[in-house]
A = this chain, B = another copy of it.
Amino acid sequence: MPHLHVEYSDNLKNLEVDRLLLRLNHALVGSGQFAEELDIKSRAVAMASFRVGVAPVERGFAHLKLAILSGRSAEIKRQLSASLLEVLKEAVPGTPGLDIQLCVEVIDIDRDSYSKVHLPG
């Protein structure tokens, strides 16, 4: 924890995914909400099969899902969401001819049943 998932439509051709993940992780470190930087586990998946709405218009999206252990306040979650959206906006500029939606969602992980083990290399 935290776990960050990035899903994006594969018509976002210029997205530098590795750079985005690093910047998102830096934003999470900078939030001061997480004890250790190595706890932040982020991944990104390009979606080859997607459909936004029903109109015959070229559209794309990027969606972040941040999963954190339960117990943080609504205000903290709002701040985390907003700061990740800022990073995402920098990484995905507006593109002529492509309608893009960027979203960030924060979800709780049930703290009580979360298990983890760390195997240092």
Contacts and interface: CB of A to CB of B under 8 A. Distances in A.
Given A50-B42, A113-B80, A99 B120 contact: yes
Interface residues of A, number: 76
B78 A54 contact: no
Interface string A69-89: 000001001101110110001
A77 B112 contact: yes
Given A100-B121, A105-B110, A113-B80, A43 B49 contact: yes
A41 B55 contact: no
Contacts of A52: 38, 40-42
Contact of A38 (B55, B94, B106, B117): B55
A41, A81, A114: residue with the most chain B Cβ atoms closer than 10 Å: A41
Contacts of A41: 50, 52, 61, 63, 101, 103
Interface of A: 1, 3, 6-7, 9, 17-18, 21-22, 24-26, 29, 36-47, 49-55, 57-59, 61, 63, 67, 74, 77-78, 80-82, 84-85, 89, 92-110, 112-121
